[in-house]
């Protein structure tokens, strides 16, 4: 339960970090909060030869609302986002998702960017980012590029990010219309990885007709899964039991969860359907306010 040997660097600037990362090549790994990386190093599931610690790069820690877009620096601690009144006001879904990550003590150190690049299939932040149609800014020595959440996650613990790149910012478009949201998960114990998590963001017009909806699930596939059918089924309609049943049915068709020690594939599918109904119902109620 002790990590293997590694070289340690603590760059003072992002530029220095990118240079170190390029020199280290495949042996290099960025450490931010370390709440996912250090456990897997302690268990020797990962053994990076060179750790580049970006905790000194304070300029990567911020929460801003610019042009109706929420911008969060990669090094921002999860607890800072959790306690941000601004985030609670403009992006309730993110605020609700964050409280379900690990525990207070791990959120105090865990970062926004770290959880997203780690890309655990049942993690809260990747799911929230996908549901909110967010994107990430990725920086290397040569360029800064933006990748939508829909294209960022590739498979288990694997994203579009290259060994010489750093995720530097998370952006989430904000909606002005009447909108509602819901983020719910089921875990064996509070703070454990979710067996299944579901998130929904929805806008509704004055007649109660759904004008836009995004529904996504975590823990049912290798990456967070957007249920595209939900939009087709629900847009222009009032939420009803029969429509909920239709969406739940397409969730069953679209997802194929794996069985493991914690839950069978059948049970995960069952949870996915139950949580789908719950988040759609709550998001609709909140949108109607």
Partner 1 sequence: MGKHEIEVTINGKVYQEEVEPRMLLSDFIRDVCGLTGTHVGCEHGVCGACTINVNGTAVRSCLMFAIQADGQQVQTVEGLSNNHELTDLQKNFIECHGLQCGFCTAGILMSTEDYLEKNPNPSSKEIKEMLSGHLCRCTGYDGIVKAIEKTIEERNQSVLS
Binding site for partner 1 (CB under 8 A): 1-8, 34-35, 38-39, 42-43, 51, 53, 55, 79, 83, 102-106, 108-109, 189-191
Cβ 97 to partner 1 shortest distance, Å:
15
Are the C-beta atoms of residues 185 and 275 closer than 8 Å to each other?
yes
Cβ 266 to partner 1 shortest distance, Å:
28
Distance CA 147, CA 153 (A): 10
Cβ 109 to partner 1 shortest distance, Å:
5
Closer to partner 1 by CB, 42 or 264: give it.
Answer: 42
Closer to partner 1 by CB, 66 or 189: give it.
Answer: 189
- DSSP 8-state class, residue 47: -
Cβ 172 to partner 1 shortest distance, Å:
25
Provide φ and ψ at 258, rounded to 5°: -90, 155
Instruction: Give the dihedral sign, CA 7/13/16/22.
Output: positive
Distance CA 130, CA 142 (A): 27
Closer to partner 1 by CB, 117 or 215: give it.
Answer: 117
Cβ 117 to partner 1 shortest distance, Å:
17
Closer to partner 1 by CB, 98 or 200: give it.
Answer: 98
* Partners of 196 in the β-ladder: 186
Distance CA 194, CA 188 (A): 8
Closer to partner 1 by CB, 8 or 206: give it.
Answer: 8
Closer to partner 1 by CB, 187 or 243: give it.
Answer: 187
Cβ 107 to partner 1 shortest distance, Å:
9
Q: % helix / strand / coil in the chain, to the nearest 5? A: 40, 25, 35
Q: How far is CA 267 from CA 56, 189, 245, 272, in A?
A: 44, 16, 17, 9
The count of residues in the chain is 289
């Amino acid at each position: 339960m002790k990590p293997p040997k590694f070289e340690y660097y603590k760059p003072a600037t992002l530029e220095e970090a990118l240079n170190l990362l390029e020199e280290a090549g495949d042996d290099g790994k960025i450490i931010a909060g370390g709440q996912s990386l250090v456990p897997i190093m302690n268990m020797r599931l990962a053994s990076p030869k060179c750790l580049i610690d970006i905790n000194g790069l304070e300029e990567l820690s911020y929460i801003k609302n610019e042009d109706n877009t929420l911008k969060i620096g990669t090094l921002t601690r999860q607890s800072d986002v959790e306690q941000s009144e601004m985030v609670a006001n403009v992006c309730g879904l993110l605020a609700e998702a964050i409280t379900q990550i690990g525990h207070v003590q791990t959120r105090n150190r865990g970062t926004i960017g770290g959880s997203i690049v780690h890309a655990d299939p049942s993690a809260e932040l990747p799911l929230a980012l996908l549901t909110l149609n967010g994107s990430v800014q990725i920086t290397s020595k040569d360029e800064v590029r933006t990748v939508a959440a829909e294209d960022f996650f590739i498979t288990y613990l694997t994203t579009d990010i290259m060994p010489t790149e750093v995720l530097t910012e998370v952006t989430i478009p904000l909606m002005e219309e009447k909108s509602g949201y819901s983020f719910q998960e089921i875990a064996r114990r509070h703070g454990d990885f979710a067996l299944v998590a579901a998130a929904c963001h929805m806008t509704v017009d004055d007649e109660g007709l759904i004008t836009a909806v995004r529904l996504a699930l975590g823990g049912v596939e290798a990456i967070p899964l957007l249920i595209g059918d939900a939009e087709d089924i629900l847009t222009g309609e009032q939420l009803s039991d029969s429509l909920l049943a239709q969406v739940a049915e397409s969730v069953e068709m679209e997802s194929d969860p794996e069985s493991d020690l914690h839950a069978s594939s059948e049970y995960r599918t069952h949870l996915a359907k139950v949580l789908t109904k719950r988040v759609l119902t709550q998001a609709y109620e909140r949108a109607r306010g």
